[in-house]
Amino acid sequence: MKIQQPNINANLQIILDKQRQMKKEREEQEENSSNSSNSPNNEDIIMKDLIAENFVLLTKINSGAFGEIHLSFSIRDNIEVAIKQEFKAAQKTPQLRNESKIYSSLLQIPPLSPQDISGLKVIPQDPEQGIPKFYGYGEHLEFYYLIMEFLGPNLNELLTYCETKKKFTIGTVCLIAFQILNRIETLHKRHYIHRDIKPENFCIGTEDKSTTIYLVDFGLSKRYKNSKNHQHIPYREGRPLTGTARYVSINTHLGIEQSRRDDLESIGYLLIFFLKGSLPWQGLKDGNDKYTKIMEKKLQIPTEVLCYGLPDELVHYMNYVKSLRFEERPDYDYIRGLFVKLLGNCINLYGITKEFLKFDWMFDDPINEIWSKYVNRKVSMKTTLTVIKGNKIEEEEELNNNNLNDKNNSHEDEEKKKNKTEDRGIIDN
């Protein structure tokens, strides 16, 4: 089968083009405004609307119960950033404050002063791959804010870009698995667990970083180990459900304190969702007992049934992470190796070259036929065996019918011969 050379997905390209166009328009506006004088009143209004006397809010990117995320622009450093806003009246315990501390820890930077926030280029940081740059946290009018690197679409949005009926191919899921397991290992090494694994919390970068998957939203993250004495948090029960019910672990539903194993189990549900397009506990009716129904569904369905039709590596992954003890350190190399093996099987079976190992959203026409051959390999083998068995039964039935016909024909021939003999005797007489 001839495969066309992949091109960047048109939808993603539109986003990138819009970003460049907005930046160009702002540069033109700044150039025009520098040639004209503003009245004091206008300057007062502009300074009032600026965050940290540097950032202007542009387009709202997303919103939720926590607040809003805006595409923003640094007028001093001429770069785009994202600003998360958390309304003071909406949160008893500000999540952004906790998130800012985690960013500082992950990026190994000290707490930022207002002077640091107002001048981005002076902030020293050595960002981990797949962790957004962090530019500061503070208060402005009626909300708290957190300034971070501006990223591209999240994995849930990218899922809609693909012509795969809201599914990712097995190759893309392997590539996603490599990166998100690396991100979660980085987080765990810094003694934090995420506690809210879902497609919306993984974004790709912009422009030349569009193949890098970033882990975001650490508002619900928590230390699982003391950074000084490395003592693990104690095992506890009766804990409230924290995270997104669709993806949280069974132990989280049961009220058990979360640890590293729970992040990994959530990633397993995430990968299965990407491959199948849905999970069995989706679509349950809203109500007070909705979370209970989701938990019961997860408890009722064996891993082999949940992963039916998927490669065995998914079963091995889920069985392994579910077997981990509360304080046990996961073998990240082993679970990554499962997807290395899976991707290698795809390459060896169908001769896929490295130039075609790209995310589905980077293809105008994703090579679904090739990847789906591996996903449905066992099903196809069963079907083939069924067909062969069916043909064999038909052949046996046909042979039996032929033998029966031969016997009937032989019997008819004997009857005819006997009748002819009797006729001949009558004539002779």
Q: State the catalytic residues.
A: 196
**178: its two tokens:** 């490599």
**Kind of pairing, strands 222-223 and 192-193?**
antiparallel
**What is d(CA 74, CA 112) in angstroms, rounded to the nearest whole number?**
17
Q: Which residue has the tokens 């809609």?
A: 160
**What is d(CA 177, CA 275) in angstroms, rounded to the nearest whole number?**
12
From residue 214, give the alpha-carbon distance in Å to each of 2, 272, 311, 349. 33, 20, 26, 31
**Kind of pairing, strands 213-215 and 143-149?**
unpaired
**77: its two tokens:** 């450093």
Q: Which residue has the tokens 């026409």?
A: 365
The angle subtended at Cα 106 by Cα 148 and Cα 269, nearest 5°, is 85
**What is d(CA 264, CA 249) in angstroms, rounded to the nearest whole number?**
9
Q: How many CB atoms lie within 10 A of CB 355?
A: 9
**What is d(CA 375, CA 262) in angstroms, rounded to the nearest whole number?**
26
**What is d(CA 305, CA 313) in angstroms, rounded to the nearest whole number?**
14
**What is d(CA 307, CA 314) in angstroms, rounded to the nearest whole number?**
7
Alpha helices per DSSP H over 111-169: 114-118, 155-161
Q: Which residue has the tokens 């992950």?
A: 106
From residue 377, give the alpha-carbon distance in Å to each of 74, 258, 263, 382, 421. 52, 37, 30, 9, 64
How is the beta sheet containing 67-74 ordered, strand by strand? Answer: 55-63, 67-74, 79-87, 143-149, 134-140
Tell me the three state secondary structure of residue 55.
strand
**What is d(CA 100, CA 87) in angstroms, rounded to the nearest whole number?**
16
**131: its two tokens:** 């962790």
